[in-house]
């Protein structure tokens, strides 16, 4: 049976401040609008594609879509897990759509994208967790838009054997897998996942192909401590992760994990300083930071940092 928290509480989805503490000024964004936003929406709907921008109710959707920058979500819009922070529907997914890789690649070409982000729901129902489908999408994009940069934001694939090898062989330019939170909070926030499984996946991809940039993200405001965030940074650097993103957790509906607090911009700046000192090539740390936010510009910075080494 499918669970879609946003559909059960549409009034809360439209007005996030109607539950929990009011948003501070630094978290308020304009409603999506504009020609490029409308054109992007038209192309996404026309090709029957799903974006994480919509499914996760990302606060940056208006700004990103105006810039023709979208993160595609493959393998359906129903997840086999029910993480306490996530707004994506949970239930029994449909069969894999074998035509999806070509449709996505066609849309990317029509949109004139130079940077493509591909993410997915968790598909624990599939023997390989969906890693082969990711590989097919990357191959289709290489054929349709050979000059574009490809970033994948993947699930952990339930530690399926050969997952990291298949991903590395497909050779995305950026491999992203989010740890999301600190280990202590995994049982209540990221149920069904294992912290060290996620960490090992990041490490394996880098070991197999060091030319692939690796990336991970954290949410703050869930009750974590500064010391715990520092330890996660150390773990990621031990796994040779290049790029860290840190953003504010925003409770999608009353059914999701409660917000502990709003982290101030000064605290985000302190986290950025800490991460740079620990050796990350690039850090994006701000209240509105999300994994795909200005990812194209961040990639240029990553390349520049590598060239300086």
- Break the chain into its structural domains and give their ranges: 5-16+29-308
Q: What is the CATH number of domain 5-16+29-308?
A: 3.20.20.70
> Whole-prediction pTM value?
0.85
Q: Provide CB contacts within 8 A for 169, sequence distance 6+.
A: 135
**CA dist 251 → 23, 66, 84, 126 (Å):** 11, 25, 9, 29
212-238 pLDDT, tens digit each: 999 999 999 999 999 999 999 999 999
pLDDT at 87 over 90: no
With bands split at pLDDT 50, 70 and 90, how would you rate the model's confidence at 38? Answer: low
- Confidence at residue 169, expressed as pLDDT on a 0 to 100 scale: 97
- Confidence at residue 146, expressed as pLDDT on a 0 to 100 scale: 94
* 71 φ, ψ (degrees, to nearest 5): -110, 110
| Span of 61-65, 117-121, 155-159 with lowest mean pLDDT | 61-65
- The whole-chain average pLDDT of the chain stands at 85
The span from the CA of 123 to the CA of 3, in Å, is: 15
- Confidence at residue 139, expressed as pLDDT on a 0 to 100 scale: 98
252-304 pLDDT, tens digit each: 899 999 999 999 999 999 999 999 999 999 999 999 887 776 677 888 888 88
- Using a CB cutoff of 8 Å and minimum separation of 24, what contacts does 230-238 make? 230/274, 230/278, 231/182, 232/179, 232/182, 232/183, 233/274, 233/275, 233/278, 233/280, 234/278, 235/199, 236/179, 236/199, 236/202, 236/280, 237/278, 237/279, 237/280, 238/203
Percent of the chain with pLDDT over 90: 62
**CA dist 243 → 11, 246, 275 (Å):** 36, 10, 9
Structural Rg of the chain based on CA atoms: 18
The span from the CA of 46 to the CA of 209, in Å, is: 36
């Amino acid at each position: 049976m499918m669970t879609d928290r946003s559909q059960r509480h549409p009034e809360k989805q439209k007005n996030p401040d109607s539950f929990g503490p009011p948003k501070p000024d630094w978290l308020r964004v304009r409603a999506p609008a504009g020609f490029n936003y409308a054109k992007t929406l038209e192309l996404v709907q026309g090709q029957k594609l799903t974006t994480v921008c919509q499914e996760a109710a990302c606060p940056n959707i208006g700004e990103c879509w105006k810039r023709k920058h979208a993160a595609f979500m493959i393998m359906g819009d129903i997840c086999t897990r029910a993480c306490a922070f996530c707004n994506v529907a949970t239930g029994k997914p449909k069969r894999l759509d074998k035509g999806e890789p070509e449709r996505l690649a066609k849309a990317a070409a029509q949109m004139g994208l130079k940077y493509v982000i591909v993410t997915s729901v968790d598909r624990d129902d599939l023997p390989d967790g969906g890693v082969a489908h990711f590989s097919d999408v990357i191959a289709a994009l290489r054929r349709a838009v050979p000059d574009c940069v490809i970033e994948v934001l993947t699930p952990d694939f339930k530690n399926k054997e050969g997952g990291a090898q298949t991903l590395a062989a497909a050779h995305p330019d950026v491999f992203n897998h989010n740890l999301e939170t600190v280990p202590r909070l995994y049982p209540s926030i990221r149920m069904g996942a294992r912290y060290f499984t996620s960490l090992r996946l990041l490490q394996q991809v880098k070991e197999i192909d060091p030319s692939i940039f690796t990336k991970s993200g954290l949410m703050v405001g869930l009750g974590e401590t500064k010391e715990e965030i520092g330890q996660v940074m150390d773990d990621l650097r031990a796994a040779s992760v290049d790029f860290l993103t840190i953003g504010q957790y925003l409770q999608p509906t009353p059914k999701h994990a409660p917000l502990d607090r709003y982290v101030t911009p000064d605290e985000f700046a302190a986290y950025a300083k800490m991460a740079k000192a620990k050796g990350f090539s690039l850090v994006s740390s701000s209240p509105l930071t999300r994994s795909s936010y200005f990812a194209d510009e961040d990639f240029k910075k990553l390349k520049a940092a590598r060239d300086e080494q």
